């Protein structure tokens, strides 16, 4: 499936508005947001929490930023299989600074969250996998310093380029080799000045039967990734 076909199919099913991001202008544009939506099998029991985290994130982007949000599905290979979807949760320009704005934001966030829930229920992807670093590379093309990137994921990267973290012995040396592999594949984008939130790293309500690899090692993988991309990473449950 081509990127264009995947985007068109998802938009048709979910009703997400595809809107073009502005090219910028001005010295300090209000921050926008991107969301990495992990639809791999290991996230199936956590997806209700993903929707609530999205709602909090979208509200903050509307209150504090532009209200513009892009969504990238982390499938087996997002670079080839998934294109960003764009939506806005901002109030109407005529409502900004008026008592109508909070109500409009709440309504827009509720609509966007409902579409995210539908997307989690029936992802428009053809292969299982969790190409998180690939999805971040796609999202980076629509981000600038000051923007925010939200990973709705357990962090269990699962792709040929990024590695199968459940199957790897994660040592500093193996992590370094994986980062070099990403660099050679052009999958370490420039995210300097971008705030990356990873609130649900290894969040598994179903306990995953004790098979989750060391949380410390998974955390080190993502900390190294953030260092390599220049992102400002925050790991841990929000609010």
* pLDDT of amino acid 29: 83
Answer for the pair 163, 218: CB distance below 8 angstroms, yes or no: no
pLDDT for 239: 39
Please state, in angstroms and rounded to a whole number, the distance separating the CA atoms of residues 166 and 44.
16
Encode the chain (239 residues) as per-residue pLDDT tens digits.
444 444 444 443 344 443 333 333 446 789 999 999 988 877 777 888 999 999 999 999 999 999 999 999 887 766 655 678 899 999 999 999 899 999 999 999 999 999 999 988 887 776 667 899 999 999 999 999 999 999 999 898 988 888 888 888 889 999 999 999 999 999 999 999 999 999 998 887 655 555 555 667 889 999 999 999 999 999 985 43
Task: Judge residue 87's burial from the number of C-beta atoms within 10 Å of its C-beta, 0-12 exposed, 13-18 middle, 19 or more buried.
Answer: buried
For 57: left if phi > 0, alpha if psi spans -120 to 50, otherwise beta; the answer is alpha
The predicted structure's pLDDT at residue 205: 66
CB 46 within 8 A of CB 38: no
β-partners of residue 130 are 158
For residue 158, give the H/E element and its range: strand 158-159
Looking at every residue in the chain, the average pLDDT score rounds to: 82
pLDDT for position 17: 41
């Amino acid at each position: 499936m081509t990127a264009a076909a995947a985007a068109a199919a998802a938009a048709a099913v979910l009703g997400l508005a595809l809107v073009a991001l502005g090219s910028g202008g001005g010295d300090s544009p209000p921050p926008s947001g991107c969301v990495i939506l992990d639809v791999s099998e290991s996230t199936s029991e956590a997806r209700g929490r993903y929707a609530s985290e999205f709602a909090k994130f979208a509200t903050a982007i509307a209150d504090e930023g532009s209200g513009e949000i892009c969504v990238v599905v982390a499938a087996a290979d997002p670079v080839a299989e998934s294109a960003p979807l764009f939506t806005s949760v901002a109030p109407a320009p005529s409502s900004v600074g008026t008592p109508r704005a909070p109500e409009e934001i709440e309504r827009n966030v509720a609509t966007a969250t409902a579409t995210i829930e539908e997307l989690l229920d029936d992802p428009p992807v053809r292969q299982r996998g969790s190409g998180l670093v690939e999805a971040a590379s796609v999202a980076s093309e629509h981000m600038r310093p000051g923007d925010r990137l939200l990973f709705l994921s357990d962090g269990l990267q699962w792709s040929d380029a990024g590695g199968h973290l459940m199957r790897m012995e994660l040592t500093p040396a193996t992590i370094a080799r994986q980062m070099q592999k990403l660099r050679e594949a052009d999958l370490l984008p420039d995210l300097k000045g971008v705030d990356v939130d990873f609130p649900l790293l290894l969040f598994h309500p179903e306990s995953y039967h004790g098979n989750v690899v060391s949380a410390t090692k998974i955390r080190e993988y993502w900390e190294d990734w953030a260092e390599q991309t220049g992102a400002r990473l925050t790991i841990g449950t929000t609010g």
